């Protein structure tokens, strides 16, 4: 086998780079963290621009799709960007205005009503019959009110008992505000110049990358963009529908705290798979303070509602899903949550969907190529047998 000097050079460079990466791992990681910290406003601006661009594209298709007027074409991007930003701010304001007061009331309600609810539960005949005597005696001896008060004092004292903690919190808040303002400015630049940025990226790849690699990059970015777009639109739509249906159903069945629990479930439903159940547990505890029977009926109602919404309403309203099997959705949420917390839960599903789709399409392409190759081989074999038959007859 002949060995070319270019192959030896590539192997040598690869080994040298690996040696440098292993030997200087800590400085490299420190530099990477510093670079990531410095690029945080740019990354945050890109994420905000991507989300706002979904609304922006919606307005472009609705109001400027068929127009040929030059003036309207010039103001198309600024007008749609302004409408998208105002819509985004309105949505965030509505979410904060609906959810934050409800969450505050929910926490206050839980703190004040958990002790009497536990007393009601421990005094019920059903619990006395099912629970062992030693467990019942231990639970009866717990002072729930003092435990909750101690927990509240611990949390409040731990949040800001020293001047250093206050100064650190204020500096962090100022830093986050500055980062948010800079990120918003970057987002505006991204949105205003999105067409030119895309055109520049395409020109750079066309001139400095092989055509085959360029096509692969186009394909992968298209799949990732489609997965994130479907996920963001579908998840928000599902959360709104689930929250509204939950409020309506609770009002019909006369469950207490309908608005509060509906807003909470709609907000937590943004987290795939487990989100609505987290809100359901909190709602169960809140209703338990009023009536244990209604709390159990609420759990049944929520399970039926999620089955109805997930199997009938969501596919028709959204018009399709990510195409990711349920087991992989659960795995993506679990792994993403373990690595990056709530942010990992949110981005784990679209990333897993994009990877799943890329692997599925590649497997289909290879299977088609293999099938075509087998068909060609069969044709060649048949032609060879036919040629041999003709030769034998001669």
| Token pair 């930003």 in the structure block, residue | 85
Is the model's pLDDT at 292 over the cut of 50? Answer: yes
pLDDT for 304: 87
DSSP reduced 3-state for 39? coil
pLDDT for 319: 45
Pairwise CA distance, residues 315 & 73, whole Å: 35
C-alpha pair distances (Å), 213 with each of 197, 205, 207, 219, 392: 20, 9, 12, 10, 51
Is the model's pLDDT at 1 over the cut of 50? Answer: no
Is residue 3 one of the residues assigned to a domain?
yes
Is the model's pLDDT at 308 over the cut of 70? Answer: yes
DSSP 98-134: HHHHHHHHHHHHHHHHHHHHHHHHHHSHHHHHHS-HH
Is residue 8 one of the residues assigned to a domain?
yes
Cβ proximity of 257 and 287 under 8 Å: yes
Domain assignment of residue 17, given as a range: 1-32
**Residue 195: both structure tokens together:** 């067409």
Closest residue by Cα to residue 218 from 202, 233, 204: 202
Pairwise CA distance, residues 139 & 321, whole Å: 46
C-alpha pair distances (Å), 286 with each of 51, 261, 279: 34, 9, 11
Read off the pLDDT of each residue in 47-65 and give the average, rounded to a whole number: 83
Q: pLDDT of 243-276, one tens digit each?
A: 888 888 888 888 888 877 888 888 777 776 667 7
pLDDT for 140: 53
Is residue 9 one of the residues assigned to a domain?
yes
Q: pLDDT of 90-143, one tens digit each?
A: 888 877 776 677 667 666 666 666 666 556 555 555 555 555 555 555 555 555
pLDDT for 134: 54
The predicted model scores a pTM of: 0.67
Question: What DSSP state is assigned to residue 318?
Answer: I
Read off the pLDDT of each residue in 49-60 and give the average, rounded to a whole number: 86
Is the model's pLDDT at 169 over the cut of 60? Answer: no
DSSP 293-307: HHHHHHHHHHHHHHH
Q: pLDDT of 21-53, one tens digit each?
A: 787 778 888 888 888 878 888 888 888 888 888
Read off the pLDDT of each residue in 173-179 and give the average, rounded to a whole number: 73
Cβ proximity of 187 and 49 under 8 Å: yes
**Residue 394: both structure tokens together:** 């001669």
Highest-pLDDT range among 120-134, 167-181, 300-314: 300-314
Is residue 182 one of the residues assigned to a domain?
no
Is residue 128 one of the residues assigned to a domain?
no
Q: In total, how many domains does the chain have? A: 1
Cβ proximity of 338 and 345 under 8 Å: no
**Residue 258: both structure tokens together:** 């309908």
Read off the pLDDT of each residue in 340-360 and give the average, rounded to a whole number: 81
pLDDT for 215: 87
Angle between helices 70-123 and 144-160 (to 10 degrees): 140
Question: What DSSP state is assigned to residue 323?
Answer: -
Pairwise CA distance, residues 213 & 218, whole Å: 9
- What integer best gives the mean pLDDT of the chain? 75
Is the model's pLDDT at 368 over the cut of 80? Answer: yes
Is residue 329 one of the residues assigned to a domain?
no
Read off the pLDDT of each residue in 178-190 and give the average, rounded to a whole number: 83
C-alpha pair distances (Å), 289 with each of 106, 113, 120, 285, 302: 12, 6, 8, 7, 18
Size (the chain), residues: 394
78-87, 101-110, 232-241, 257-266: least confidently modelled range: 101-110
Is residue 312 one of the residues assigned to a domain?
no
Pairwise CA distance, residues 118 & 147, whole Å: 13
Is residue 52 one of the residues assigned to a domain?
no
pLDDT for 172: 67
């Amino acid at each position: 086998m002949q060995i070319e000097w270019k192959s030896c050079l590539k192997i040598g460079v690869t080994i040298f780079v690996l040696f440098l990466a292993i030997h200087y791992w800590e400085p490299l990681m420190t530099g990477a963290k510093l670079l990531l910290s410095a690029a945080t406003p740019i990354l945050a601006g890109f994420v905000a621009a991507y989300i706002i661009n979904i609304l922006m594209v919606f307005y472009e298709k609705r109001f400027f799709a068929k127009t040929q007027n030059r003036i309207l074409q010039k103001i198309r991007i600024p007008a749609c960007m302004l409408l998208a930003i105002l819509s985004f701010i309105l949505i965030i304001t509505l979410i904060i205005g609906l959810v934050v007061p409800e969450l505050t009331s929910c926490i206050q309600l839980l703190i004040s009503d958990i002790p009497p609810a536990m007393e009601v539960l421990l005094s019920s005949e059903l619990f006395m019959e099912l629970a062992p005597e030693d467990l019942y005696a231990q639970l009866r001896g717990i002072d729930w009110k003092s435990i909750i008060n101690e927990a509240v004092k611990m949390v409040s004292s731990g949040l800001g008992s020293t001047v250093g903690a206050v100064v650190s919190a204020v500096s962090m808040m100022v830093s986050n505000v500055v980062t948010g303002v800079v990120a918003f400015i970057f987002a505006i630049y991204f949105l205003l110049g999105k067409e030119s940025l895309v055109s520049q990226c395409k020109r750079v790849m066309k001139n400095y990358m092989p055509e085959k690699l360029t096509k692969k990059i186009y394909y992968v970015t298209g799949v990732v963009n489609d997965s994130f777009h479907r996920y963001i639109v579908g998840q928000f739509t599902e959360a709104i529908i689930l929250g509204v249906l939950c409020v309506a159903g609770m009002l019909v069945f006369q469950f207490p705290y309908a608005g509060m629990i509906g807003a909470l479930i709609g907000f937590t439903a943004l987290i795939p798979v487990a989100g609505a159940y987290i809100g359901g547990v909190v709602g169960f505890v809140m209703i338990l303070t009023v009536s244990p029977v209604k709390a159990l009926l609420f759990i049944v109602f929520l399970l039926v509602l999620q089955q109805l919404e997930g199997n009938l309403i969501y596919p028709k309203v959204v018009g399709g899903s990510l195409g990711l099997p349920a087991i992989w959705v659960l795995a993506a949420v679990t792994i993403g949550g373990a690595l990056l917390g709530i942010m990992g839960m949110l981005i784990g599903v679209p990333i897993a969907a994009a990877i799943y789709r890329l692997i599925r399409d590649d497997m289909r392409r290879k299977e088609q190529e293999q099938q075509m190759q087998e068909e060609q081989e069969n044709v060649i074999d048949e032609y060879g047998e036919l040629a041999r038959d003709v030769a034998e007859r001669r």
